[in-house]
Amino acid sequence: MKNWTKKFRIPPGKRIRLEDWPTAGGDGMEKSEARRRLEIIGPQMADWQHRLYAEQRRAVLVVLQAMDAGGKDGVIRRVFTFLNPQGCRVTSFKTPTPSELAHDFLWRIHQAVPARGEVGVFNRSHYEDVLIVRVQNLVRQKVWEQRYDQINDFERMLTENGTAIFKFILHISREEQRQRLEERLRDPSKHWKADPADARERECWDDYIAAYEDAIERCGTPWAPWHVIPADRKWFRDLAIAEIFLEGLRSLRPQYPPPKVDLSKIVIR
Ligand code: ATP
Ligand code: MG
């Protein structure tokens, strides 16, 4: 498949119905083929990351959002481990601490954005402040309503300062989520992930879908576009994100910088 970005990128400001958006991509593709392809493009991701790192001019920010059990951890483990850890930083955003809550909602986010030369991966992000915060009424509507514009301004400021932003929603079906949450109860190696909050949040599925649709429409911008990835099949999800990340990184054309000094003057004895 070609043009992964085009296929899954949502045009700025477009409203989509997530219900109509596929959750099970990969028709016509075999799992083994997808895994093989990932092994080929993983090192290419690392190669371009190396140039980004050497160049020290721009940064790349990847935002991962999903319903519970949507596969954010899996994507980080399967896709972003191809990168050199020296230039890659993953940040997981949990329930804000009292100190975080004492600041504006973007305060903790800004501290975690990647430095020049780095790739930053957000496992959850500032979008929680218009998702769970909205669904669970953690602040007044007037407050979360303002956040869409505030997020757009913040993301535009980041891109104007050299940070390219790629946002992903891992889109799973309600049935797939049920199976994954049940698996957390069944499989001892997943018990540590089981959380009563997951069952509670699941009850609010429709409210979350509405909140996601608004975030896609109101915060899909030319400078920080959303990609909605069919995520029921893990192998397809991983490949799609790797391909889109690679296409995005490549399009920045990071270059090895010229030498800082006159190399002919350096004598190695
Ligand atoms: P997993 O999917 O593997 O369970 P997780 O990302 O859900 O991982 P948890 O520690 O289980 O990690 O959950 C973090 C919780 O913190 C989520 O329920 C998320 O919605 C919540 N959270 C994150 N940011 C905010 C925020 N700004 N305000 C309120 N809750 C938040
Ligand atoms: Mg959780």
Q: 168: which 2 tokens? A: 């992903």
Residue of the CA atom closest to atom 7 of ligand 1 = 68
CATH class of residue range 26-252: alpha beta
User: What is the residue extent of each domain of the chain?
Assistant: 26-252
Give the ligand 1 atom nearest the CA of 136.
29
Global pTM?
Answer: 0.97
What is the Cα–Cα distance from 123 to 85, expressed in whole angstroms? Answer: 16
Specify which residues 226 forms β-bridges with.
167
For residue 43, what pLDDT band results from cuts at 50, 70 and 90? very high
Residue 242 has pLDDT above 80, yes or no: yes
The torsion angles phi and psi of 239, rounded to 5 degrees, stand at -65, -45
Strands (E), 45-200: 59-66, 88-92, 119-123, 163-171
Residues 36, 96: Cα–Cα separation, whole Å? 39
Cα 93 to ligand 1 centroid, rounded to whole Å? 7
Closest residue CA from atom 12 of ligand 1:
94
How many Å lie between the centroid of ligand 1 and the Cα of residue 42?
28
What is the number of the ligand closest to the CA of 180?
A: 1
Q: Flag whether pLDDT at 153 surpasses 90.
A: yes
With a 6 A CB cut-off, is 67 part of the ligand 1 pocket? no
174-223 residue pLDDT tens: 999 999 999 999 999 999 999 999 999 999 999 999 999 999 999 999 99
| Residue with CA nearest ligand 1 atom 14 | 94
